[in-house]
Every structure is written in C-alpha cells, then in structure tokens.
Amino acid sequence: MSFTIIPATTDHAAVINSMTHELAEFEKLPNGPQLSESEFREAIAEKNLFGFVALIEEQIVGFVMCYYGFSTWQGKFIFMEDLYVRPAHRKGGIGKALWKEVAKVAYEQNLRRIQWTVLDWNTNAINFYKSIGATDMHDRDGWLDFRLFRPAIAQFVGGNSENGV
C-alpha cells in the first residue's frame, strides 16, 4: 500500500475533526470530541495543535495530532493527543510512519520526551509503543494521569460550568 505523509494544515481540519469522532467510537468513548470544526481549524492555524496526515490517492486515511507542553524537570516536550488510522488501512505501516514524523520533530528540536496516554485495553497500541522503546510510566514510577474537567473546575473555583465538557 503506497501512502504519503504530509504536515496537517487548516485545509485538513474538517476531515481530521470528523476522524476524531471515528477514533472516539473505536475507543468506546460515547461523548466523543467536543471541538467544533472551526475550533479545530483555529487550533491548527494558531499553531496550538500540529500534526501529520497520511494520504492514499489524495484521501486522508490517518492522522496524528500533537501539541507542546513544558516540564519543569525536562523542558519543552510534545504531547501526542491522537493517532488514528482508518480500519481498512491498518497494519500497513501508516501508524508507524505518522508516529515517526512526530519523533523526527522531537529529535530535530532536541526535545527530551514525547508523552501520550493509551487506554489499558488497547493492547495493539501498547505493544507497538513498547516495540519502539516507549516506557509505561505507571509500571516504572507509578504515575497516574489525572484531569480536572470544566464542571469540576467550576465547582472548585465556585463558578459556573457553562460551555463545559
């Protein structure tokens, strides 16, 4: 299967945004993504989000989207938010090629790490990540991933949770 990997642009926003809903379905997350297409496009335009798309005959069949974070211990890093390849195009090296583009960015920018989360039942992804040398931080150091979502933020600060997730 011949494919091409190119940087994601605002022109790709609608398709990537749609594919994030496919990813949510695959991940068994019924609430799915909350971003509108215009918010997604704006995030790419303002460089809050970057990534790559995989094309087969001009059709997007996979994508990876990332953003930068900063650690007081290790400095700037990349957080990989989503990696998704449509089912009909899996097992052909597309996911690995997308991931490698992210790793190249990290390498070229001399970043100390790439970080991401994966669902514990997604053994194919876990095995892939381990095969490329990734470290499970829970197994190594006991780190757990916590999030404070909009309703809890509002409750914590005593505010209104309108427009929340």
CA distance 24 to 26: 5
Which DSSP symbol is given to 130?
Answer: H
68, 84, 107, 129: which is the annotated catalytic residue?
129
Instruction: Determine contact, residues 143/135, Cβ cutoff 8 Å.
Output: no
- Is 129 one of the catalytic residues? yes
**Strand order in 75-85's β-sheet?**
4-7, 50-56, 59-71, 75-85, 114-115
Residues designated catalytic: 129
